């Protein structure tokens, strides 16, 4: 759910591979978190973290909402991540990559 440009970066490949070398902005505390060498633990990172794309997250949330019965075409990323990913309370006040651009 990071921008396409960021998906080409080695940091992103590290995150997907659950390896050290890339950080993502935590959807709860917005701190940078990075996989440790055990491949499962996420810990605070010193790297500049990638951020989720608002556009992608909103599209994902609406797609999910539209598949519900009854459909919810106005599902927000906060509602989607709580319901599908069981991450209640995530993304509250999250600064998406678009939010940092002037
Ligand atoms: Zn956190």
Same-domain check for residues 60 and 96? yes
Separation of CA 74 and ligand 1 centre (Å) = 26
Separation of CA 90 and ligand 1 centre (Å) = 9
Separation of CA 30 and ligand 1 centre (Å) = 6
Calculated CA dihedral for residues 28, 42, 2, 84, nearest 10 degrees = -60
Same-domain check for residues 63 and 95? yes
**8 located within any domain:** yes
Distances (CA, A) of 52 to 3, 34, 60, 77, 82: 7, 15, 12, 11, 16
Report the domain count for the chain.
2
Separation of CA 2 and ligand 1 centre (Å) = 17
pLDDT digits (tens, 9 = 90+) for 28-81: 999 999 999 999 999 999 999 999 999 999 999 999 999 999 999 999 999 999
Separation of CA 65 and ligand 1 centre (Å) = 26
Do 53 and 1 meet the contact criterion of CB atoms below 8 Å apart?
Answer: yes
Coil, strand or helix: which one is 73? coil
Q: Is the pTM of this model over 0.85?
A: yes
Range of the domain at 96: 54-100
**49 located within any domain:** no
Same-domain check for residues 75 and 96? yes
């Amino acid at each position: 759910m990071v921008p396409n440009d960021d998906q080409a970066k080695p940091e992103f490949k590290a995150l997907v591979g659950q390896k050290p070398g890339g950080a993502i902005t935590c959807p709860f505390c917005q701190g940078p978190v990075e996989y440790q060498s055990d491949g499962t633990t996420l810990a605070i990172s010193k790297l500049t973290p990638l951020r989720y794309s608002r556009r992608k997250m909103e599209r994902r949330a609406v797609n999910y909402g539209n598949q519900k019965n009854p459909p919810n075409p106005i599902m927000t990323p906060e509602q989607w991540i709580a319901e599908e990913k069981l991450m209640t309370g995530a993304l509250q006040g999250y600064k998406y990559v678009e939010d940092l651009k002037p």
